[in-house]
Structure 1
């Protein structure tokens, strides 16, 4: 069963598309959405990215929107708070309430600001999901390695990324065995089991670090990790669709400039 983004990306047909093109489209979508002063443009880009991820990337719709909604909930809370603290000067008050000595009010300026921030968040999540669900992390690491982007940082990031899943699997196995032995029955037992879990993971982290160091030295490690880079050509259909997306985004940017919902 597919349970993480890397598994999703490995099964996606868009995995075999040019990484540079996908990265350019994502950066273009992010920057254009951030520079927009209207929520319509970020929403348009988000719809395009979501459609491309689900339709062309063959991503399970239920999995996609479940993960999307979970992350969007944090943004919604921030935007609700922004409603009451971004009032603006000489802006009509739409709703207000008095709580003790404070007056909380929602104005048209704060509402427009909250909607704009929320639309930018949707745009950002859609763009990041498009990249993360169609490009495996190993290909991203090899791509940045190929363009000579901070070799040491990329190698460390790759090792950290790999061992996140190693220790996560170890933690799940230990916790499952503890639960089978009623290790989390009661508050006292739960604290003791949690402490044993953290301590075991810490010890295993040190042991895995020593094993990794020895194995790399035994394989003549010289300070740089070799990466296999799979290069994919930009097909004519990919180029046409990309140009259409960029052109449509520019048109929407021009004709919706300054538009506000309220």
Structure 2
């Protein structure tokens, strides 16, 4: 999460409007879901990777780190689809599926990977506060967005407390042996929740001292959404959809 938030805050397209990036990523994802061609899925995958790396300037190692867990989940599901289980006389039999089933499993894995790349493009180029601000302007209830933002901050507080506790235990040689490591982790987990609550209480006190009135406002560094850019993105999506339908 730290690497994803760092990339979202420091990429080249940080100042571009969140609505433009959201429209692009969701539009390309819709194209992937509507298309049944292998070439379209491969084109979507490569295009989103190119936009993320060459356009937004996200390093390949950061893209790989962010995509590692979802792609591992997709690979596990794809392998599971390659086998069928039948029960004969209360005895399970595992067999490889037909060639058509193998093709379908590979296509599902490719389409899922393409959609994941669309979501990773949005996550690595657009911070959560920008998306929440956009949704608020489009009519999202302010209380819902504030709850989401507070939960997001609480996660960072939890990670900070966890890292500080691990560094403290490591400095006191708390991880020099297996038994000592188990004891240190137990002490860390036991003290983690009270420390998080204390940090959250200090956050609440700080907000109250700064005149908190029930609404979390953020300074936006983004440029306003351009109708011309939105129109260009829409035209590109339409042309890409027409090509995918023509190719097949």
TM-score normalised per structure 2:
0.85
2:109 aligns to what? 118
Structure 2: gaps spanning 5 or more residues: none
Of 224, 236, 241 in structure 2, the residue corresponding to residue 232 of structure 1 is 224
CA distances 1:99-135 after superposition (whole Å, capped 9, x unpaired)? x751412212311221121112211121111111111
> Is 1:73 matched with 2:72?
yes
User: Where do 5+ consecutive residues of structure 1 fail to align?
Assistant: 88-99, 258-262
Q: Evaluate the alpha carbon distance shift between residue 199 and residue 13 of structure 1 in structure 2; reply closer, same or farther with a 3 A threshold.
A: same
Match of 1:132 in 2: 123
Q: Which residue of 2 is the match for residue 210 of structure 1?
A: 201
Q: Is 1:182 the counterpart of 2:181 in the alignment?
A: no
Q: Who is 2:57 aligned against?
A: 58
1:185 positional shift: 3.1
Q: 1:28 Cα deviation (Å)?
A: 1.4
Q: CA RMSD in A?
A: 2.5
Measure how far apart 1:244 and its partner are. Answer: 5.3
Aligned residues between the structures: 242
Structure 1 CA distance, aligned partners of 2:167 and 2:74? Answer: 33
Q: Please identify runs of 4+ aligned residues in structure 1 that moved more than 6 A.
A: none
- Does 2:147 correspond to 1:148? no
Matched with 1:34 is: 33
Instruction: Give the TM-score taking structure 1 as reference length.
Output: 0.81
TM-fit CA distance, 1:70: 4.6
Match of 1:251 among 238, 242, 246: 242
Deviations 1:179-213 (A, max 9, x none): 23221233332222112111221111221232233
Deviation of residue 217 (structure 1)? 3.4
| 1:161 lines up with 2:152 in the alignment | yes
In 1, the alpha carbon distance for the partners of 2:230 and 2:116 equals: 23
Alignment of 1:223 with 2:214, yes or no, is: yes
Contact 2:48 2:121 in 1 (8 A): yes
